[in-house]
Copies of this chain bind each other. A is one copy, B any other.
Amino acid sequence: MSKPRNSASERNVTIKDVAREAGVSAMSVSNVLNGRGRISEATANHIREVVQRLDYRPSVAARRLRLSQQWTIGMLIVVEDPDFLSDPFITTQVTGLTNYLTANSYSLILRGMKPSDFRTTGLFQDIEADGMVAILSGEQEQREWFIRELSGLRVPLVLLQEERLPEKADCAIVRQDDFSGGRQVGQHLLSTGARTCWVLIPQVEWAAMRARKAGAASAFSDAGAPDLEIIRCGDESFDVTYEATLAALRSGSAPDAIIGGNDQMAIAAMKACMDFGLAIPDQVQITGFNAFEIWRYVDPVLTTVRSAAHAIGERAGAELIERLQVGHFRKREITLPVDFQVGKSTLPSS
């Protein structure tokens, strides 16, 4: 037999060592540790004492193999930026999920990839999680590839902020009501007297961005106001958005309002307007989306929509664990509410 290439120099103490030392069988130790089976209080105490004395730590690997359960959820984040946790919307979802899982004795395995990594074969060969949660982005084709690969793992899958439920049966979506958020933004701007309005959207559309835009557009359309004008930004980074806004300002007349696809884009646009000599909110009103810390680092404080990111992560964890216990997803599409917040970057409602 092989010598285990364990990192520790001494062999680890196993359940058998404890059993031998305590003068009982291994399963008595197991029973005591897991609170299963009937064990006399005296024996149990003795075993516990030996466990402490030997500083016995159960091997999760063995337990997992035996029970064919991993108590582990995998989280995949697919974004273009190699610094895949730079967006607070994403990190907040991750935190929500991790906190929920930890509280329920599950571990989280974290992994980041780029949309352009799609078609890289054998990316998810091994099964090491009982379920997966994924935040996808990129083109439809790429997202579908990732969903197919994830399905190949044959574990339940929860998609975050995804628009359409895929064919795959063992899958659920948790998202927030971006449409309603966008609609409230639109209604608010209309109430301040705004008529002409730009929407800043990154080139590669997220479903969320599309929903926000659609919500705002529906408000404008209902009010008989002019159509929203879409300003495409190469991506959602500060620099790119700033330049796109400036270019748009130079090539035409400034709108009454600019709706940023998220806070970051709104802030870039705000800076572009200011640098162009326009006063916020008197000449141009600006709104963001998400309401993370940065939204108030700017002056004037941004009118924005408080997102449900933490709740999305928590809920994904809850649904996944329930699915693992019950055998099927109770609900396959879950939409969480958002909360519109008025700041100083828009005029008061008249």
Contacts and interface: CB of A to CB of B under 8 A. Distances in A.
Contacts of A85: 85, 91-92, 94-95
Interface residues of A, number: 64
A253 interface: no
Report how many copies the assembly holds.
Answer: 2
Contacts of A64: 61, 64-65
B112 A6 contact: no
A55 B126 CA distance: 11
The secondary structure that dominates the A interface is mixed
A328 to B, nearest CB: 10
Interface stretch (A218-226, A292-300, A331-339): A292-300
Interface in A285-315: 293-294, 296-299, 310
A58 B127 CA distance: 7
A309 to B, nearest CB: 9
Given A130-B7, A299-B274, A82 B65 contact: no
A269 to B, nearest CB: 12
A82 B99 contact: yes
Interface of A: 4-8, 12, 55, 57-62, 64-65, 67-70, 72, 82-86, 88, 91-92, 94-95, 98-99, 102, 107-112, 125-128, 130-131, 152-156, 238, 264, 267, 271, 274, 293-294, 296-299, 310, 324, 327
27 contacts: A4-B68, A7-B324, A8-B154, A8-B155, A57-B153, A58-B126, A60-B127, A60-B128, A61-B128, A62-B65, A64-B64, A64-B65, A65-B65, A83-B95, A83-B310, A85-B91, A85-B94, A85-B95, A86-B88, A94-B110, A99-B112, A107-B109, A107-B111, A107-B128, A238-B296, A294-B297, A298-B298
